[in-house]
Structure 1
């Protein structure tokens, strides 16, 4: 079996890239640019455009030497770096931009061809000539990719000869003095830049041929950067030559002025035609391979993945390129097409640069053989979107909306490939640096950020405990639910991958879920509370259901004593199975003199709860039991200040109980009977008194709705609730 023909750096990357760079814009519009903005302005436009092309070329070259590069060029690199959704959305944009750029080159060819032979110059005449050229090039591409690439050498020679002929030509249109700056009233600078920018997009023509290269990791960096460098030198040289030898009036009005000044006009014609046709041919060869690669990954319809022959030439993808390019030709306006192409390529280049930056910054496995500083990618990204913003903010927004829509569409398709995208590395890097920062700070007295270990058990009402735990954790808190599986028949734990529970209920709430085997529920809870967590995000709260029926359990008492010793915040929910959380309209916080730490924790919990969607219309009350004949106004004023310091809006209710001395739980039963969620502090008691406390609390729960019992750890501030008796 004959080996599939593969290409080297010069034939596969450098030549197609350079021929696309030295294309229609150089011959047909560079003079117009110089005539409108002067030599200094033209040099500025060329350099700014090349900042984008050079940074993008460096970025793509570096990424290309890190990964195995397959067919699809830029799409392949982005999809394996940033994932299918971004790679696919940018790949589609790049594919469409490439197809429209074919129309750009062929409209330029048609303008020159018709002008040279004296054919009609109406828009319909341009469309006819452009269409005939498109059909001819498509047939050539269908006949043989190899033949098409070999034709490039003849075209490259023609371009060199044409540039020599221009340099040795007549100076009859020479200006009196070189125009350095733009005149007042000339074409808007943004429009001029948008028309010129496609001149520097040609370097992706070689990258698109990645699947046909013998050694893409070597050929892409060398061929791409050499093509960009040679292109920059040629554009600067031609711009200087034009400014010094042709007056601005001719430059602005005559797109074919280079033919008129050349030593031998046919040589320039051959260069123009060769450059425009070869640029179009580069798009016809490269564009379909982008679509074919996307179809192989199931991003686009599988039909376009089909190829012909041993080299699997993408016939169906080529037909679609033909249709899009023909649409651009039917538009018929070179300047309009140039501006459309600019937006597509600027967007794609911006994401190529940020992909490289993120890979370099976050991915520990990023080891390219072609080393580039990561700030290059960031500079390219900023330059691309800065230029887009300056050119046309509406077009930029439109491009981002289209690409954003494609991104979410592909994300919903959940296409999987055997490659890790950079976002996992980005998040790991952010988490790593964040943990180090958190761990280095003494945050013992900072605002409470809940990190909850939750034991929700298995019941019909588990979802309500999950819901409340997520509300209590706030926007930035963490909840990890543990399912304890009693298995006395096996000493082997779950495998590490089996410990993770992937359930839609947990995923929707943003709760991490794990399962572990234990011999005993209470020792299991103690073991987890003792060992779970790591530096920076150690758990600080244990939450579970209220232990009805366990008042005489020594195992439960030992567990509680250990949790208190470990200095966890403890949250126990007694869930009312009938009333549930009512209509989420009222939360009561019960305070007494002994609740000095619990009070602050209750306020924090209330602050987080009312920020959650279901509780956002909830009224919060602080009910303080005055057992000492203290002045109610003083109490109210002091509590108001404490509440304001914690930025919680509450209603304050003082209950005089100095004379009647009604038991605390009886007052709760009286005032909170219709409350949707009641928060009550757990007082300090000796562990041997736990049974009596649990029984008394169980009796309270029979008379009120859902209740959250709160025991604050030592890191909470002591609120002075011991008000002195009024004198």
Structure 2
């Protein structure tokens, strides 16, 4: 095996022409022809030599390594004609020629590598003389050759040289194989007589010969090659040559995306693919770069991150600005060590850009499912203008809701810890006001895996109604977190349905979605118990099973009318005569606290508002109120006022209320009146004009937010981070101010809070197989 390593360097002259490609007149023609001729002549000479020696010499003599049997002279010189000095002189000249060839080819190759700035520390060797000779590279190669001579043993030196020659040939075969197999458009060789499989065979032979010659030299050679590769990757080459491995990565990525297809991602494989909107100022500096620190702290999700910004204007005029902004975002991504991409979109307005970004970002199942934006702290400034921060933020929320994208909105982002900052040691509180598919739990779990939050204690606050079985609910939720393998303590907080009215629609609309998902996944009864919302519904009185699914589909909301709308009464005969397309009926079941409510009887009800062939209990009554959207919702008969005129007024007033209780019923704000007129809502405009003094609905909404805020501040005022559900914005025009006022009241006094709004899709499961 050692003889193979000694003998192989003698046949390495086939690459001499390639090493001097810069000096050739027509390298595309000369290199293929010259290489083929060199391989042919070298193979003919060196393959015939063993046969000729075997024909004229005995085997025992050939195995005499030091030539003691024939006086210590060269065996080939002993058979030379006319004298043995012919072989000695020829061997000397051949050795000198090979040395000179290496001494001229290697320095030029080194100088070319330095000139391309592939490895920055070689810049000193790119200097050439006036005659075009790489003198510094020649001196370096001469020094390396002298070190080889000082070893004074060819047997130890030639195996190492063999390793590098074989690696060179192996990588040439590898590059040819990859380009031929991938069929890159740029791969257009003039020499057509080749096949990628032949190059693959050559690569395998080179690796095999390396281990046959010397396995430990092979390991050393591959270690050096890997170190050089990682150095180039770390420092980055100034020129991009489009290597074959990049083509392999592109082909692999394309095939992976196509295999994923458009099928829904299973809950076990769901991960947050975060789209981060990072606004830039006029100098392309990030306004809230702490968002990137928060994204880095969520890196345990291993999702694709896209950091995007939007420039107002036209792409033709702002092309250079877009390139500069994208370069700055890329620098920020590297600075914050985020594994993600940067993108800049030019649109006529920020609102339009966010809508386009939410719809088009990503490819296939790599499309982004989570949007992160910072909370506009100064949203009250110039809130009446169409381009205000208030309108931009609400437009973003609505676009995400329309595209089924979850939302992460950090409030007080400047107070969030840096990724390289000190570790937090307090509590991380998660307030599950409504189950959003598990995004709250998943977000808190990913944060807890980061170094910054690792030492914090995770607390889960489950919001239940006053009628729920709190003891068993806490027990089951603790078991559920144990099955999820999440270490956290559970606290159950009882609240009235009116206090969480902003979340009622989201809670009820997702009931059928979760049931359908469990049926689609073919989950068994035992496994279904691990659904968190089903655990809450199991201990709710009445349970979610008592709700008519058809009513849920029709209304997309569930309202405890006894507590949420105590002042709402039945509509007049005119409102009940609306077309079927605008009529929606919901049965609400509420427990009565007094005998007088049990004895209350429904009146002024049309037959078609009752459920089909179902008896109505003393606690469930049907009556219809008209919303601004034209739909009708049943409310408790016990909530009716005894004054018929007040009932009519309240019924008309309720038309300005939407399912999230954020619609403006207060006509004192000119913004509401203007929005109503611009939207063509003639009915709401006339209603506001007819009742200029009713402000009780806004006060009731703020009271709900105040009650929630009191509980948040009581339990979580000292916590390092509070994660809470964010109610969805209303689609009713003019409700933006009231929605933001609700959020402000809800989060008042909490310096660091993360608002989370899921899509209702399950994103976390206890089963890993």
- What's the TM-score, normalizing by structure 1? 0.63
Quote the offset at 1:569 in angstroms.
0.8
The answer to whether 1:508 aligns with 2:365 is no
Q: How does 1:266-305 map to 2 (within 5 A)?
A: 266=84, 267-297=86-116, 300-301=122-123, 305=127
Partner of 1:80: none
The answer to whether 1:251 aligns with 2:78 is no
Partner of 1:27: none
What secondary structure, in the 3-state scheme, does the structure 2 residue paired with 1:710 have?
strand
Superposed CA deviations along residues 529-587 of structure 1, whole A, max 9, x for unmatched, are 23434434222222112244658756654553333122111111112645757843443
Assess if the C-alpha contact under 8 Å between 2:268 and 2:764 holds in 1: no
User: Residues of 2 paired with 1:642 and 1:684: CA distance?
Assistant: 27
Partner of 2:443: 605
Distance 1:564 1:230, change over 3 A: same
User: Residues of 2 paired with 1:574 and 1:324: CA distance?
Assistant: 63
Assess if the C-alpha contact under 8 Å between 2:407 and 2:757 holds in 1: yes
- Residue of 451, 464, 480 corresponding to 2:306: 480
- Residue of 296, 316, 319 corresponding to 1:494: 319
The answer to whether 1:705 aligns with 2:705 is no
- Residue of 585, 588, 596 corresponding to 2:429: 588
The answer to whether 1:654 aligns with 2:491 is yes
Which fold has the larger relative contact order, with Cα–Cα distance below 8 Å and residues 6 or more apart in sequence? 1
User: Residues of 2 paired with 1:388 and 1:614: CA distance?
Assistant: 48
Assess if the C-alpha contact under 8 Å between 1:444 and 1:715 holds in 2: no
Quote the offset at 1:375 in angstroms.
3.6
CA RMSD of superposed structures (Å): 3.9
The structure whose residues are more often helix, as a share, is: 1
User: Residues of 1 paired with 2:362 and 2:235: CA distance?
Assistant: 35
- Residue of 703, 718, 723 corresponding to 1:679: 723
Q: How does 1:309-388 map to 2 (within 5 A)?
A: 309=131, 312-361=132-181, 363-371=184-192, 372-388=194-210
Quote the offset at 1:438 in angstroms.
2.6
- Residue of 359, 362, 371 corresponding to 1:542: 371
Partner of 1:88: none
Quote the offset at 1:467 in angstroms.
1.4
Assess if the C-alpha contact under 8 Å between 1:499 and 1:516 holds in 2: no
Assess if the C-alpha contact under 8 Å between 1:451 and 1:478 holds in 2: yes
Partner of 2:260: 438
Superposed CA deviations along residues 233-286 of structure 1, whole A, max 9, x for unmatched, are 433333344456432454242352223345655354454344333323322332
Assess if the C-alpha contact under 8 Å between 1:571 and 1:710 holds in 2: yes
Assess if the C-alpha contact under 8 Å between 2:442 and 2:763 holds in 1: no
Distance 1:204 1:483, change over 3 A: same
Quote the offset at 1:316 in angstroms.
5.0
Quote the offset at 1:493 in angstroms.
4.7
Assess if the C-alpha contact under 8 Å between 1:501 and 1:515 holds in 2: no
Q: How does 1:354-433 map to 2 (within 5 A)?
A: 354-361=174-181, 363-371=184-192, 372-389=194-211, 391-407=213-229, 416-417=238-239, 419-433=241-255
What secondary structure, in the 3-state scheme, does the structure 1 residue paired with 2:373 have?
strand
User: Residues of 1 paired with 2:15 and 2:269: CA distance?
Assistant: 52
The answer to whether 1:448 aligns with 2:270 is yes
Quote the offset at 1:287 in angstroms.
2.5
User: Residues of 2 paired with 1:285 and 1:554: CA distance?
Assistant: 70
User: Residues of 2 paired with 1:359 and 1:350: CA distance?
Assistant: 14
User: Residues of 1 paired with 2:343 and 2:191: CA distance?
Assistant: 43
What secondary structure, in the 3-state scheme, does the structure 2 residue paired with 1:680 have?
strand
Assess if the C-alpha contact under 8 Å between 2:481 and 2:488 holds in 1: no
Distance 1:226 1:609, change over 3 A: farther
User: Residues of 2 paired with 1:579 and 1:555: CA distance?
Assistant: 23
Partner of 1:260: 78
Superposed CA deviations along residues 34-72 of structure 1, whole A, max 9, x for unmatched, are xxxxxxxxxxxxxxxxxxxxxxxxxxxxxxxxxxxxxxx
Superposed CA deviations along residues 322-378 of structure 1, whole A, max 9, x for unmatched, are 333233223221111212212222333333333333444554311112243234444
Assess if the C-alpha contact under 8 Å between 1:353 and 1:378 holds in 2: yes
Judge which range, 382-391 or 322-331, deviates more: 382-391
User: Residues of 1 paired with 2:719 and 2:22: CA distance?
Assistant: 68
Distance 1:655 1:494, change over 3 A: same
| Number of residue pairs the alignment of both structures matches | 524
Distance 1:356 1:615, change over 3 A: farther
Partner of 1:561: 398
Distance 1:719 1:654, change over 3 A: farther
Where does the alignment leave 5 or more consecutive residues of structure 1 unmatched? 1-188, 721-727
Larger radius of gyration: 2
What secondary structure, in the 3-state scheme, does the structure 2 residue paired with 1:702 have?
coil
What secondary structure, in the 3-state scheme, does the structure 1 residue paired with 2:366 have?
coil
Partner of 1:30: none
Partner of 2:546: none
The answer to whether 1:667 aligns with 2:479 is no
Distance 1:658 1:201, change over 3 A: same
User: Residues of 2 paired with 1:265 and 1:512: CA distance?
Assistant: 73
- Residue of 459, 481, 488 corresponding to 1:621: 459
Distance 1:576 1:565, change over 3 A: closer
Quote the offset at 1:217 in angstroms.
1.7
Assess if the C-alpha contact under 8 Å between 1:450 and 1:473 holds in 2: no
User: Residues of 2 paired with 1:294 and 1:462: CA distance?
Assistant: 42
Where does the alignment leave 5 or more consecutive residues of structure 2 unmatched? 68-73, 384-389, 500-706
Superposed CA deviations along residues 500-542 of structure 1, whole A, max 9, x for unmatched, are 2334322233343344445543343223223434434222222
The answer to whether 1:224 aligns with 2:35 is yes
Distance 1:277 1:558, change over 3 A: closer
What secondary structure, in the 3-state scheme, does the structure 2 residue paired with 1:370 have?
coil
